[in-house]
């Protein structure tokens, strides 16, 4: 039974690689910790150079962002996320992330429920990211770099 293969576990920082967030950027890196194939939750670290602007997007569910380093904002909001802050994003809200020019690389932990939907200026869908595309990116990176992949979709 499935429950016999479920238990609390740790994923160490150095047990998962930084991966280029292609095709969206060559300089933004992502590190996946957990890809839930049932609920669609993704736990991932994101690293972006100062001044990076990422495409406007929304999430189908909530997102919790814990900023570790650097400063960033959404162009649609006045607030700035600084180290140690929590950003709580509600379902289907759209925004354009922008790293500050003068606070160094942004490093932030993201707990994402469901799809990340990239939109163009007319609100047309450009691309969708979720646990499946994350898994494909992770497995392709592992294969290309001779890394034995972990099962990031498992809970043990």
Site residues for a copy of itself per CB under 8 A: 1-3, 5-14, 33-40, 43, 60-62, 64, 66, 68, 74, 77, 79-93, 95, 109, 111, 113-115, 117, 125, 128, 130-132, 135, 151, 153-155
Minimum distance, C-beta of residue 59 to a copy of itself, in the bound complex (Å): 8
Greatest C-alpha distance within the chain? 52
Which of 26/128 has CB closer to a copy of itself?
Answer: 128
Pick between residue 50 and residue 154 the one whose CB is nearest to a copy of itself. Answer: 154
Distance from C-alpha of 51 to C-alpha of 18, rounded to nearest angstrom: 20
Query: Please, what is the minimum distance in Å from the beta carbon of residue 83 to a copy of itself?
Result: 7
Nearer to a copy of itself, 26 or 88 (CB): 88
Taking a C-beta distance cutoff of 8 angstroms, is the pair 138, 92 a contact?
A: no
Residues 6+ apart with CB under 8 A from 67: 81, 82, 83, 84, 85, 87, 106, 107, 108
Q: Residue 29 in contact with residue 18, Cβ under 8 Å? A: yes
CB of 91 to a copy of itself, least distance (A): 3
């Amino acid at each position: 039974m499935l429950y016999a293969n479920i238990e609390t576990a740790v994923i160490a920082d150095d047990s998962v690689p930084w991966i280029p967030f292609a095709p969206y950027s060559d300089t933004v890196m992502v590190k996946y910790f957990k890809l839930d194939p049932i609920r669609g939750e993704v736990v991932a670290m994101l690293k972006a150079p100062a001044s990076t602007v990422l495409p406007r997007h929304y999430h189908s569910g909530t997102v919790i962002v814990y900023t570790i380093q650097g400063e960033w904002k959404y162009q649609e909001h006045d607030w700035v996320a600084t180290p140690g802050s929590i950003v709580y994003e509600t379902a289907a809200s759209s925004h354009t992330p922008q790293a500050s020019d003068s606070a160094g690389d942004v490093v932030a932990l993201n707990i994402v429920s469901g799809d990340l939907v990239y939109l163009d200026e007319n609100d047309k869908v450009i691309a969708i990211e979720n646990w499946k595309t994350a898994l494909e990116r992770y497995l392709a990176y592992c294969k290309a770099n001779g890394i034995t992949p972990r099962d990031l979709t498992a809970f043990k």
